[in-house]
Amino acid sequence: MAKKKFVVGCFDDEEVLFPAVGKVRTAGYKIHDVYTPFAVHGLDHALGLRETSLHTAGFIYGITGTTTALSCISWIFTKDWPLNIGGKPHFALPAWIPITFELTVLFAAVGMVLTFCYISQLAPFVKKHHFHARATDDLFVMVIECTDKTNAEDLKAFLAANGAVETDIQIAEEGWWLGRYDKDEMRFENKQIVAA
């Protein structure tokens, strides 16, 4: 796995963090991520992240649930085993609404949570590099990826000048996720060794 060098700047106030994010981006640095103890609204826009499509996935899972319920029940009650219930119609749509609704919700919720965990690489026993232990307590931790051209010391000073209370240089590697390594990296050499 590729180890990368990161410059870490910790802020103790989101009101200092926002202008700092702007300045760091204008200066042309690549912000790897900002780790925050709670959802700071607007930070995703400040970082230039695109909107999440998770809700669209949720909608698709939901209609999958609707279709599953309706198609299964109607097949069972009209084709597979038509049951005469007091002479009432076999295709009894109104009576199927409750189950259809429940399955819509169930599919949407379960699908969304699993998708959320998968794309965010969250699962039990997953090891990740934590840049600062207080990122889940009271610090807003900005992590900047260094390139060949980056002067880490300069960057540290730049962050401190913009209000970082703590700065640091860390070498970290990307975690694995279901056999898929960080997308930036091509691991062809290793593969050949294994094949030979």
Partner 1 sequence: MHLKYESQLREPLVYGDKNYHQVTEDIVRPIEAKPTKLWYVGFYIAVCLLMFGVYAIYRDVTYGIGQWNLNKTVGWGWDITNFVWWVGIGHAGTLISAILLLFRQGWRTGVNRAAEAMTIFAVMCAGQFPIWHMGRVWMAFFVLPYPNTRGPLWVNFNSPLLWDVFAISTYFTVSLLFWYSGLLPDFATVRDRAFTKLRKRLYGVAAFGWTGSTKHWQRHESLSLVLAGLSTPLVLSVHTIVSFDFATSVIPGWHTTIFPPYFVAGAIFSGFAMVQTLMLMIRKIFSMEDYITVGHIEAMNKVIVLTGSIVGVAYLTELFMGWYSQNKYEGYTFWYSRANLFSPYGWSYWGMMACNVLSPQIFWFRKMRRNLFVTFFMSIIVNIGMWFERFVIIVTSLYRDYLPSSWSVYYSPTIWEIGFYAGTFGLFFTCFFLFAKYFPVIAIAEIKYVLKTTGEGYKDKMGHLEHVPVEVFTHSGHGHTTVENDGATHG
Return the beta strands (E) in 146-190 as ranges: 166-173
User: Considering the rule CB under 8 A, would residue 178 count as an interface residue with partner 1?
Assistant: no
Q: Residue type at 76?
A: I
Q: Which residue has the tokens 């593969």?
A: 191
Looking at residues 109 to 138 of the shown chain, list those that interact with partner 1 (rule: CB under 8 A): 109-110, 112-113, 116-117, 119-128, 130, 133-138
Minimum distance of partner 1 from residue 68's CB (angstroms): 11
Choose between 103 and 155: whose C-beta lies nearer to partner 1: 103
Q: Which is nearer to partner 1, 81 or 188 (CB)?
A: 81
Residue 191: other Cβ atoms inside 10 A? 10
Strand, helix or coil for residue 35: strand
Question: Which residue in the set 5, 23, 25, 33 belongs to the binding site for partner 1 (CB under 8 A)?
Answer: 33
Nearer CB in complex with partner 1: 105/152: 105
Of 10, 7, 18, whose CA–CA distance to 153 is shortest? 7
3-state secondary structure of 190: helix
Q: Which 36-95 residues touch partner 1, going by CB under 8 A?
A: 36-44, 46-47, 49, 51-52, 54-55, 58, 62, 72-73, 76-77, 80-81, 83, 85, 88, 92, 95
Spatial separation of the C-alpha atoms in residues 91 and 77, rounded to whole Å:
7
Q: Which of residues 147-176 bind partner 1 (CB under 8 A)?
A: 175
Size of the site for partner 1 (CB under 8 A): 71
Return phi, psi of residue 84, to 5°: -85, 105
